[in-house]
């Protein structure tokens, strides 16, 4: 664990994409909505979004809230719309008291092993109110193809770090989502070869 007086954790990618992500969130959510962020990492999105949008309730989480300094980073502020982070292991998703309007993750599913990702949509679905949204930001493949050569290079890099990691096929994710009772709504292409994908929780499972 990092020392209490060490510098706050910082992710260049989180800093670079924060405004793009905020714009997409504003396009599909509204004041008063409650969001569960999975894999909050350094906490930069939680801090930035709750500062810019005080009417949005944001619940940060991670598998280890001290691992990237998440818990320490969030102690620097006191906001009514930003509660203490909670620990969520995607592969063993806990039962949560509240029904969230959205479950959001940035650059998560290509880092987590596929054996973990297989549990993501089931966990997200059981945490959502009916009509709630699953929002994923990051790079994806479509019909088995990378959107750019640089994403293919990135995929190879990820696999060298962990053979189970890698840029995910949208179709494989959508199959998991359908089994969890989620309906795909839209794909928004964003800068730096990333996409914003949106699913909605239907009234009943197929």
* Element (DSSP H or E) covering residue 168: strand 168-169
82-101: average pLDDT: 91
C-alpha–C-alpha distance, residues 59 and 41, integer Å: 13
pLDDT of 205 reads 53
What mean pLDDT value characterizes the chain?
A: 92
**Does the pLDDT value for residue 66 go beyond 90?**
no
pLDDT digits (tens, 9 = 90+) for 115-138: 999 999 999 999 999 999 999 999
Number of DSSP helices (H) and strands (E) in the chain, helices first: 7, 11
C-alpha–C-alpha distance, residues 133 and 200, integer Å: 5
pLDDT of 3 reads 46
pLDDT of 96 reads 84
Which CATH superfamily includes the segment(s) 12-201?
A: Vaccinia Virus protein VP39 (3.40.50.150)
Alpha-carbon dihedral of residues 23, 25, 30, 32, nearest 10 degrees? -120
pLDDT of 2 reads 43
Percent of the chain at pLDDT above 90? 82
pLDDT of 7 reads 65
pLDDT digits (tens, 9 = 90+) for 153-165: 999 999 999 999 9
Whether the CB-CB separation of 83 and 97 falls below 8 Å is answered with no
User: Mean pLDDT lowest for which of 56-70, 138-152, 183-197?
Assistant: 56-70
Q: Name residue 104's beta-bridge partners.
A: 37, 135
pLDDT of 204 reads 59
- Torsion angles phi and psi, residue 101, rounded to 5: -80, -20
C-alpha–C-alpha distance, residues 61 and 104, integer Å: 11
Task: Work out the pLDDT band at 1, boundaries 50, 70, 90.
Answer: very low
Domains of the chain, by residue range, sit at 12-201
180-197: average pLDDT: 96
**Does the pLDDT value for residue 11 go beyond 90?**
no
Question: Which residue do the tokens 């089994």 mark?
Answer: 179
Higher local confidence (pLDDT), 68 or 105: 105
């Amino acid at each position: 664990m990092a020392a209490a007086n060490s510098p706050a954790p910082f992710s260049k990618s989180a800093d670079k994409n924060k405004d793009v992500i905020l714009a997409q969130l504003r396009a599909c959510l509204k004041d008063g909505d409650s969001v569960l962020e999975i894999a909050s990492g350094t906490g930069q999105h939680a801090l930035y979004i709750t500062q810019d949008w005080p009417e949005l309730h944001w619940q940060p989480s991670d598998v280890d809230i001290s691992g990237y300094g998440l818990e320490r980073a969030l102690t620097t502020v006191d906001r009514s719309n930003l509660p203490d982070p909670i620990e969520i292991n995607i592969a063993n998703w806990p039962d949560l008291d509240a029904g969230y309007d959205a479950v959001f993750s940035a650059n998560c599913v290509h880092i987590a092993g596929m054996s973990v990702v297989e549990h993501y949509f089931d966990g997200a679905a059981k945490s959502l109110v009916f009509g709630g949204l699953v929002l994923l930001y990051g790079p994806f493949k479509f019909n088995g193809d990378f959107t750019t050569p640089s994403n293919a290079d990135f995929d190879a890099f990820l696999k060298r770090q962990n053979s189970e990691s890698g840029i995910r096929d949208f179709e494989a994710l959508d199959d998991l989502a359908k089994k969890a009772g989620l309906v795909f709504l839209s794909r928004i292409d964003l800068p730096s070869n990333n996409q914003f994908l949106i699913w909605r929780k239907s009234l009943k499972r197929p």
